[in-house]
Amino acid sequence: MSEASLKVRASSWAGLFDCAYRWEGIHLLNMKNTVGLRAALGTAIHAGSAAFDQAKLSGETVTANDAAGVLVDKLRDPENEFDPMKDDITMQEAENVGITLLTKYCNEFSPQHDFIAVEMETKPMDIDCGGGIVIRLTGTMDRARINKSSNGIGISDLKSGASSVQKGIAVTKGHGAQIGTYELLYEHTTGEQITADAEIIGLKTKGKPEIATGTISNAKRIMVGDNDNPGLIEFAADMFRTGRFYPNPKSMLCGEKYCPRYKSCTFKGD
C-alpha cells in the first residue's frame, strides 16, 4: 500500500454516504460518542443471533435459550457502554424485547436459511483514489451472513432498530451501500460471484417486536456504477483524495445522540 493509505472497516463504509462529515469525525478523527440502551440492545441481539447461527454452522447443538444467554451477557457487559438517559427503555424492558425477537429469529427465520458463513472475515480490498491515496477496506461482514439458496449465493444482513420494520416489511432504503460493499468483498475474498438478491432481515425493537424481510437487487452496481452512471466508490474516492467530507444535516443520525461532532457542527442549522 501507499504511504498515504487509510484503513477503513468495511462495516463502516455505508455511513460515509449518509453523512461523510459525521463519518470522518468517528473513523478518521477518532471522536467518541456514547450510545443509548437501544443501540446496546441491537448489539446484544446480533451477538446472540450470530452465536446461534455460527453454532449451527459448526454442527453444534444450540437452542434459542442458549442464544438468549449470550444476548443477556452482552447487554450487561460492562464494556458495552451506553447512556441510559438517551433512551426511553429500561434494562429489563430491553432484555424482554431482545429475547422475544431473538427467540423468534432462532425458531422461525434462521431455519429457513442455509448459511455458509456468519460475519465472514474478508480479504483486504484496496481502492485507488488517485493522487497517491489508497483506501484499504478491512474487517468482517458485521451482522451479515452468506446465504445459499436455489437462486445462488447472496447476502443476508440483520438490521435492528426502532423503525427497521414498517408495514410488515424490512426497511431496505439506505442499506444498499453496505450490501454492495459486502458483495464486492465476498467476490474479492472467495473468487465466487454473488448471484442472488440480497436480503435484509429487520428486527424492530420499539413498540410491538417484529421481524420481517426485504430484498435489494444488484447492490454491487450501487458501488461500482455502470456505463451511464458513476458508482459510490467514485464519489468516495473524490472525498478521500480532496479531504472534503460533506455534511448531511438531513441525516436521520444528525443529532447529539448519534454524532460526536454534533455540538461543534456548523452545518446542522440551529
Residue 161, burial from CB neighbour count under 10 angstroms (0-12, 13-18, 19+): middle
What's the whole-number mean pLDDT along residues 193-214? Answer: 95
Q: How many beta carbons lie within 10 A of that of residue 17, not counting itself?
A: 20
Is pLDDT of 96 > 80? yes
Work out the pLDDT band at 79, boundaries 50, 70, 90. confident
Report the alpha-carbon distance of residue 41 to residue 45 in Å, rounded.
6
What is the per-residue pLDDT for 36? 83
- The per-residue pLDDT for range 43-62, each reduced to its tens digit, is 999 999 999 999 999 999 88
Q: How many beta carbons lie within 10 A of that of residue 259, not counting itself?
A: 21
- The per-residue pLDDT for range 216-261, each reduced to its tens digit, is 998 999 999 988 899 999 999 999 999 999 999 999 889 888 899 9
Q: Does domain 1-27+116-263 have CATH number 3.90.320?
A: yes
What is the per-residue pLDDT for 78? 66
Residue 15, burial from CB neighbour count under 10 angstroms (0-12, 13-18, 19+): middle
Domain boundary assignment for the chain: 1-27+116-263, 34-112
Of 246, 197, 237, the closest CA to residue 219 belongs to: 197
